Amino acid sequence: MSSQPARRAAQILESHPQLRALRTLPPLSPLTYYRRNVSRTLPIGGAIIISVFLIASIVTLLNSVDASISRHYGFVRSFSVLTTQLEKDVSPVLKKKAFAVPQVGQTIPAIPYVLTLRTVFGEMPVPVYGVEPREMATLARVTGNKLVEGRWPGINEPEIVLSRAWANNFGVKLGGTIGKSKKKMRLPSIPQKVVGILEGGENFALSDRTFFELTLPDPVQRVSYMLIPRSPRDLDAMNATINRFLDAPQKNGLRPGQVQYARIYTFSGLVKELRESLGFLYTFLAIADVLVIGAVALMGAFLANIYFEQRLGEFGLLSAFGFRRERLARRVVVETGILVVAGWLLGMFLTWLLFRVIDRFYMAPRGLILAPLDLLAIKYTLPTPIIVGLASLATVLLRLYRMDPIEIMERR
C-alpha cells in the first residue's frame, strides 16, 4: 500500500512529458552549472553581495547624518528662534519690529542651554528651552507632542521634560537625572530630574526658566524668542521678513548696531550650517563609495577570469561538438546576468534585514538614528553588479573568442 503513491506519481510523470522535464534542469541550461558547482560560483556571487552591503552601508551612514540633523532639529519646523550672540538680549527696537511682523502669531521668551546627543557622526548640540510653566503645554502642542508620562517641571525646580528618543539617548527614564557633561557646555550647576516624557511629535526638551535664571552664570544667559507663526504656511514668509531686517537693517528703519549680534534660527538654516560643517565627512564617504565600487569591479574581473579557467574544458568540449562561439557567448551573458542580478538582490535583502535588526535592537533603544535603506542607497549599489558584470563579460568573452577547442581537448 505504501508504494502506491510512488507508482502513481511515476505514472503521472511518464504520461505528461512537460512534468517529467521539471525533474531535472536541461544539461545546457544556464542554471545547470550553478546547481552542480555551488562552491565555484560562491566567490564571485559573494563578492557582489559583500560589495552591495558595503556600498549600501556607506550610503546609509551618509543618510543617517541627514536623518539625525533633520530629526533632532525638527522642532524648528514649527517656529523660529530670534536670539543674539555676545549680548544678553535682543535690542528693543528689533524685538518691536520682529513681533509686529504680520505672520507672527505668538511670541514666547526662553532661556536655552545646550545638551550634546550621541549620533552616528559624533556629538550633536541640541537646545533645552527654559520657559514659563504656562507656556510648556503650548510649545508641546506646537511641536506635535503630548505629555504621556509624568508632569511638567515645577517653578525653580531642577527638573526637565523631554522626548523619549532624547531620554533614550541619554540613557535615562522617568525619575532619572541628567547630570553635568564632561564638556564645557552651558549646563546648569545642579543635575536635573526627568519628570516628564513627550511623545508623538518632534524631539524637544523643556525646563523652567526661573531655574535657569538663578542657576546659569550671568555671562552665558541669552534670551531667545520663539516666534510661532499664525499658521504653518506663514513660517517661510515670517522668516524671510525677519531675515531682511538682519541683512539690510538701514532699509528697514534699523541701525546696524541694533542687529549686529542678532540672528534667527530656522530649520533650513540649522540644517545647512551643520551640513557645511560636516562637508568633509560627505566627501570622504563619497570617495569611499567610488573606491569600493572600483575595487569590487576589479576583483570581479579577476574572479571571472578564474571562473572561466575552471570551465575551459566545458566550453572547449561544447565548441568541439559544433556550438558556435556566438551561442557560447550568449550563454555566458545569460549566466553572468543571472549571477550578478541574484547577487545584487540577495545583497540588498541581507542589507535591509541587517539594518532592521540593528535599528530595532541597538539604535532605537539608545536614541540613535539609523536611516532606512532608501532609493538613493539602491541607486548607489546599481553600478556594482553592472560594472562587475561588464568586467566579467569582457574578460570571459575575450578568452572565449581566442579559445582553441582542439588545444583544450588535447590538454596542451
Quick: pLDDT tens for 163-202: 999 999 999 999 999 865 555 444 455 789 999 999 999 9
Q: Which residues pair with 84 in a beta bridge?
A: 262
DSSP class of 178: E
Measure the CA dihedral 68/70/71/74, to 10°: 150
Helix (H, G, I), strand (E, B) or coil at 326: helix
* Distance separating alpha carbons of residues 65 and 122, to the nearest angstrom: 10
How far from chain centre, in Å, is Cα 60? 4
Count CA atoms within 13 Å of residue 410 on its CB side.
Answer: 6
- For residue 167, which of 136, 133, 125, 195 has the smallest C-alpha distance? 195
Asked if the structure places residue 106 within a domain, the reply is: yes
* Distance separating alpha carbons of residues 109 and 225, to the nearest angstrom: 4
How far from chain centre, in Å, is Cα 151? 33
Quick: pLDDT tens for 243-291: 999 989 888 888 888 888 899 988 888 888 777 777 777 777 678 777 8
* Distance separating alpha carbons of residues 368 and 6, to the nearest angstrom: 58
Number of domains in the chain: 2
394 and 366 in a single domain? The answer is yes
Q: Is the dihedral of CA 167, 172, 175, 177 positive or negative?
A: negative
pTM as predicted: 0.73
Q: Residue 218's pLDDT band (boundaries 50, 70, 90)?
A: confident
- What pLDDT, on a 0 to 100 scale, did the predictor assign at position 157? 93
85 and 62 in a single domain? The answer is no
Asked if the structure places residue 139 within a domain, the reply is: yes
Asked if the structure places residue 200 within a domain, the reply is: yes
Are 206 and 128 in contact by the 8 Å Cβ rule? The answer is yes
Asked if the structure places residue 18 within a domain, the reply is: no
216 and 163 in a single domain? The answer is yes
Asked if the structure places residue 51 within a domain, the reply is: yes
How far from chain centre, in Å, is Cα 90? 37
Asked if the structure places residue 224 within a domain, the reply is: yes
> What is the pLDDT averaged over residues 305-311?
68
Helix (H, G, I), strand (E, B) or coil at 65: helix
* Distance separating alpha carbons of residues 341 and 289, to the nearest angstrom: 20
Asked if the structure places residue 321 within a domain, the reply is: yes
- What pLDDT, on a 0 to 100 scale, did the predictor assign at position 133? 92
| Residue 292 domain boundaries | 26-67+280-409
Quick: pLDDT tens for 334-344: 877 888 888 88
127 and 263 in a single domain? The answer is yes
Residue 263: Cβ-neighbour burial (10 angstroms; 0-12, 13-18, 19+): middle
- For residue 278, which of 128, 120, 165, 166 has the smallest C-alpha distance? 120
